[in-house]
Chain A
Amino acid sequence: MSIDIKNLSVSSAAELLNSGKISAVELCNAFIARIDAIDNQIKAFLKLDRAEIISAAEAADQRHSTGNQLSEFDGIPIAIKDCIVAEGQTCSCASKLLENVVAPYDSTVVAKLRAKGFIPMGRVNMDEFAMGSTCENSAFQKTANPWDTERVPGGSSGGSAASVAASEVPAALGSDTGGSIRQPASFCGCVGLKPTYGRISRYGLVAFASSLDQIGPLTHSVLDAAILLDTIGGHDKRDSTSLPDACEGFAAAVRAVAGKDLTGIKIGLPKEYFSAEGLEPSIKAITDAAIATCKKLGAEIVEVSLPHTKYAISAYYIIATAEASANLARFDGIRYGARAPESKDLVDSYFKSRGAGFGDEVKRRILLGTYVLSSGYYDAYYLKAQKVRTLIRRDFENAAKECNIILTPVAPSVAFKFGEKSDPLQMYLADIFTIALNLAGNCGISVPAAIEPDSGMPVGIQLIAPTLQEKTLLEVAAIFEANREQSEFAANL
């Protein structure tokens, strides 16, 4: 049968597959046809191995026909951000330096997806090494926003968000170091979850800032985000920062709140966020309307304070770039990646390969990280930033005493037009609502809330919960999702 894949979610695809209405091959072919039809406009995909996907789908159908399916999701495709390795596929991080590198093994998240029958579908675009907020820092292509192709999809997981919003895949994996899942989710009208640091193994995620990076899903629904958290989360002995806590039951929890309201939930509004410089009035209005919706649903609304908010960007850019300068030191064009053709000796080869291989934003961040760690500046910048990080973490701990969930905007504006923002510092300042979470390590989710009337672009709200409180986070997100004024978020493409 021919299937309508417009905004088809993981949970709906699973129903179609398990009722026998469609086969995995039909499902995957429908998404491949969609990609072939529109990705020349969206440019979300860097690589797509059609034959490998179909052969995996055939294997899934075989299992379904004998009752041996790996899970109810056996045969559902999912796009993978190009910094998460999948065996036998390229992993370039959208960098010229790693353009033709083929991953020799599966990341833990990809292995867990495969174990449930999910089919990794292509490599989706990103800002080079996950550094950026627009996807414009990709060395290969500029991904467009499916809601308006003159606008950016956000970043760094812009390819993930755009591929989901364009119905090219039912869901995608991204990574979030300072908002790189939540901001593109808001810009593209999808759900983006950044789990608690340590929830999901980072084994096989190319490291940007190891103490901040976390993998998470971008989906059409909160239920799908919960399904994927159940699938990819949990302890991994290959990641020493992986938490021992069980990571399951989230989809069941989300299903269980169907029809419920927010009675008994206290939602905190951090006053510093709502008075932040640069917050567009239209975004504030949409956030206020979302707060009103929560109040109508029975939530108690309280004001809270995160007093060190104004220092979060500085602390973040010091810590993230310091870690990046160390992590990216391994990319020297010797063991893998692009090596500069002419050099007089080994050290010269490092200089030339890195000079030619890295784009401007990556260079800026390596330079900043190198500077803040350099002799004479370490205490003034890096150590100081780590202490400020403690203060920011305490802010969230204190706020958690007064509420279950914090509600904030995701980004100060809707998705901007290509080239509209070019000043690097101004771009960093737009991360104000998302980065503190990565410093504190707790979890957050971006859920579409409304369409901005003037631009016609979607806008999300961010919900934040304390460490390991994803269950409450997803329950509140699902109740909001079921009751928001705008019920459907479908890009007009």
Chain B
Amino acid sequence: METNNSFDVTYVAELARIELNDADKARLQQDMQAIVGYIEQLNEVDVSGIEPTAHAVTLTNVTREDRAGKSVPRETMLANAPATVNDDELIKVPQVLPGEGMA
């Protein structure tokens, strides 16, 4: 399906924080253009005066008693971390701010 929609894979992948190489981009641009071309059929539906449905159930303001419950031990949670420091006490992350590399 050939359409002229404005889908720009480089821009959208940037928003979605997904790195793509040039071959990925070329392939996905084509796929996405066809898919976006298809969903544009919604333009023909008259929805004036129709309320949007965000959810299949309409429960609102579900609350619970404000009391502390059991939580998962830190060592169990941190066992899944890709990198840790301080004897597995903290998650190690890549440098957050630009500048000199830290030791």
Contact A339 B82 (CB under 8 A): yes
User: Does A486 sit within 8 A of B, measured CB to CB?
Assistant: no
With A371-B7, A384-B42 as contacts: A354 and B19 at CB distance below 8 Å: yes
In the assembled complex, the Cα of A315 lies from the Cα of B44 at a distance in Å of 13
Binary B-proximity of A334-368 (CB < 8 A = 1, otherwise 0)? 11111100011111111110111010100110111
Interface residues of A in 205-225 (CB under 8 A from B): 211-212
Contact B32 A371 (CB under 8 A): yes
Contacts of A198 in B (CB 8 A): 56-57, 59
**In the complex, residue of chain B having the shortest beta-carbon distance to the beta carbon of A317:** B39
In the assembled complex, the Cα of A343 lies from the Cα of B83 at a distance in Å of 14
Contact A317 B35 (CB under 8 A): yes
Contact B17 A351 (CB under 8 A): yes
Which listed residue (A329, A335, A348) contacts B81, Cβ 8 A?
A335
User: Does A440 sit within 8 A of B, measured CB to CB?
Assistant: yes
Contacts of A241 in B (CB 8 A): 55, 57, 59, 62
User: Does B103 sit within 8 A of A, measured CB to CB?
Assistant: no
Contact A367 B94 (CB under 8 A): no
In the assembled complex, the Cα of A399 lies from the Cα of B70 at a distance in Å of 46
In the assembled complex, the Cα of A106 lies from the Cα of B34 at a distance in Å of 40
State how many residues of chain B have any CB contact under 8 Å with chain A. Answer: 52
Contacts of A284 in B (CB 8 A): none
**Minimum distance in angstroms from A110 CB to a CB of chain B:** 15
Contacts of B19 in A (CB 8 A): 351-352, 354-356
With A336-B81, A387-B47, A424-B31 as contacts: A370 and B53 at CB distance below 8 Å: no
A contact face: mostly helix, strand, loop, or mixed = helix
Binary A-proximity of B37-66 (CB < 8 A = 1, otherwise 0)? 011011101010011111111010010100
Contact A354 B18 (CB under 8 A): yes
What size tier do the contact residues of chain A reach? 35 or more
User: Does A311 sit within 8 A of B, measured CB to CB?
Assistant: yes
With A336-B82, A374-B12 as contacts: A346 and B35 at CB distance below 8 Å: no
Which listed residue (A211, A355, A424) contacts B35, Cβ 8 A?
A424
Contact B94 A390 (CB under 8 A): no
User: Does A183 sit within 8 A of B, measured CB to CB?
Assistant: no
**In the complex, residue of chain A having the shortest beta-carbon distance to the beta carbon of B97:** A345
With A197-B56, A389-B53, A440-B56 as contacts: A351 and B35 at CB distance below 8 Å: no
In the assembled complex, the Cα of A5 lies from the Cα of B57 at a distance in Å of 40
User: Does A43 sit within 8 A of B, measured CB to CB?
Assistant: no
Contact B59 A386 (CB under 8 A): no
Contacts of A1 in B (CB 8 A): none
Contact B79 A390 (CB under 8 A): no
In the assembled complex, the Cα of A348 lies from the Cα of B31 at a distance in Å of 25
**Minimum distance in angstroms from A209 CB to a CB of chain B:** 11
Chain B CB count within 10 A is highest, among A105, A338, A393, A438, for: A105
User: Does A318 sit within 8 A of B, measured CB to CB?
Assistant: yes
Contact A364 B28 (CB under 8 A): yes
Contacts of B41 in A (CB 8 A): 310-311, 314
In the assembled complex, the Cα of A381 lies from the Cα of B35 at a distance in Å of 13
**Minimum distance in angstroms from B61 CB to a CB of chain A:** 9
Contacts of A439 in B (CB 8 A): 53, 56
21 contacts between A and B (CB under 8 A): A104-B72, A104-B77, A105-B72, A212-B56, A241-B57, A243-B59, A314-B42, A318-B39, A344-B95, A348-B94, A350-B17, A354-B17, A355-B18, A367-B12, A370-B12, A371-B12, A387-B45, A389-B53, A391-B45, A425-B31, A425-B35
Across the A-B interface, the 10 shortest Cβ-Cβ residue pairs:
A441-B56, A355-B19, A386-B52, A336-B80, A339-B82, A387-B47, A197-B56, A351-B19, A240-B62, A389-B53
